[in-house]
Amino acid sequence: MLLNLQVKNYLLIDSLEINFPEGLIIITGQTGAGKSILLGALSLIMGAKGDASSIADGAETCVVEAEFMMPGDGEEIKEILSENEVEDNGDGSVLIRRVIYRTGRTRAFVNDSPVNQQVLSSLASKLIDIHSQHQTLLLSDKQFQMSMLDHFAGNAALLKDCGEAYIALQDDLRQLEEVTEKLDKAKAEKDYNEAQLEQLEKANLRDGELEELDAEQKQLANAEEIKENLSAVEQLFSPQDGEMPSISVSLKEAEKILSRVSKFVPSLQDLSERVSSVRLELDDIEAEVSSVNSSTELSEERLMQVEDRMTLLYDLFKKHGCSTVAELIALKDKYSEAVFNSDALESKKAQLENKVSEDKKKLSAICSLLTKARKDASKPFADSIRDSVRSLELDRAVFEVQIEPAPQSKTGSDTVRFMFSSTGVNPVDIAKCASGGELSRIMLCLKAMMAKYTAMPTLIFDEIDTGVSGSVADKMGSMICSMGADMQVFAITHLAQVAAKGTAHYLVSKGVSEESGKVTSTIKRLSPEERVLEIARILSGSEITEAAISNAKSLISKA
């Protein structure tokens, strides 16, 4: 329920704050007084687009604020608040504020927390519904017709399941398409990848191998020269001609002599020990030289093996654009992953195909349930609308609902067509046969039904009585009034028969502000006496007659 509305600097409204009661609220005013401006302000609260053109002259910002009371337990609204991290006031109220700046930027707040326009629209749709003068065009909209039937049938849970199943199917179909595309590409490259992988695996690559091969190749290629030089070093250490003792023998003799003489010159003992140390080091060097010399092979076969291996590695470098064995190993791993991924994609595709098949079965089952529910509800729904329309002086009216197959979507696999005839014969598509007055009556009946089945807390009718008059208008007013017994209903009207039904009556008027001298629109609640005069004005025009006043009182007393 709309409790309070505050508007500042919106078009012709300078400043406005007004409270609203429960029940049926009538809003009247002369043409051009600003009733549409009031609706425009409410539309901003509902998430409509706003820009700087909405700001009153001379102002920098426009502010519209509305306080609502949640319907029932408010679970749906509380869920929206929670999902968007908006604090719940705890008293069942929801405060929505919309601010428009001169720069064109807009901001929206719910309970003083900033929200985006989508959240605002979602929240407002649970709080208020505005039926504009042109909304009868929705009667030709198949989705609107479907939603009316689904509301009547109580298909909310099935529709939720259907939407989730449809989205899941579309998501899995998208994934299947992506995997299939990747798999086709992988298959096209699979033979090439496998061939490259096979070649690199046969190479038995080992990081650091090239450096080892390079060192071995140099040793094998120069083995003869190496052995000659090492043999010469061995000869120097241990001459083989017998004329000279080996270096080790000479040093050992020197060590003995110095040790003997040290009895007379003690300091020579240190020299003897140093000679011994040098002799041991030279013996070790000579042993290592001999070892290297003996291990150095003069093998042309091994040299060829090493050079062939190095040639293979360099050929692989050139072919694959690499400069190290480590890079070749990384490339081999890449080809291995590509081949593995191809196999993995095959498995993933098979899984997704099974998932898509299950999704289709699930969606089809839900669609079948929806179709049955709609067919079961179509006749009582049509009968209910027909009876309501006939009560508005279309005594011979016929209203039918046709359900036809349609491609699967979030709302099932049906399309709904409203068929109508005011004469009782040959009903055809409602968009092709109903007049403006008939459409207004049908739309009111649909809104009355929707209010009953959706628990909409606040409903606003903007001249839904357009195109009707007399007793029909009186009956439409009674229907709107009966809706006001269970919910808050605003009726913007030019018909006295409707205006007389309200529990509260507000007048929108236009005048010149004494303070600013600007033309402004205002709204105020009428007293019982003022209400009589306003209904009399609607009846008689600009000159209010005694007869009009008497008629106005009669209409109010009969309401």
* Residue 454, pLDDT score: 61
Task: Identify the pLDDT of residue 45.
Answer: 87
Residue 137, pLDDT > 60, answer no
Give me the pLDDT at residue 411, please: 93
Question: How confident is residue 133, by pLDDT bands cut at 50, 70 and 90?
Answer: low
Instruction: Note the pLDDT tens digit of each residue in 51-63.
Output: 888 888 888 899 9
Quote the CA–CA distance of 71 and 386 in Å, as a whole number: 29
Q: Which helix (H) or strand (E) holds 124?
A: helix 117-124
Instruction: Tell me what pLDDT residue 375 has.
Output: 96
- The pLDDT assigned to 138 comes to 57
In this prediction, residues 199-209 reach a mean pLDDT of 87
Tens digits of residue pLDDT in 152-165: 898 989 999 999 99
- Give the whole-angstrom CA distance, residue 419 versus residue 439: 12
Question: What pLDDT, in 10s, does the model give residues 304-323?
Answer: 888 888 999 999 899 888 88
User: Mean pLDDT over residues 448-472, rounded?
Assistant: 71
315-358 pLDDT, tens per residue? 989 988 888 989 988 888 887 777 666 777 888 899 999 999 99
pLDDT digit string, tens, across residues 359-374: 999 999 999 999 999 9
Query: What is the Cβ-side half-sphere exposure of residue 310, based on CA atoms within 13 angstroms?
Result: 15
pLDDT at residue 118 is higher than 90: no
Average pLDDT in the chain: 84
How many angstroms separate the CA atoms of 312 and 306, rounded?
10
Provide the β-strand partners of residue 523: 508
Phi/psi for 76 (5° steps) reads -60, -40
Separation between Cα atoms, residue 162 and residue 165, nearest integer Å: 5
417: exposed, middle or buried (Cβ count in 10 Å: 0-12, 13-18, 19+): middle
Sign of CA dihedral 314, 320, 324, 330: negative
What pLDDT score does 383 carry?
Answer: 93
Distance separating alpha carbons of residues 235 and 223, to the nearest angstrom:
18
Cβ atoms < 10 Å from Cβ of 471: 11
Cβ atoms within 10 Å, residue 518: 13
CB 35 within 8 A of CB 29: yes
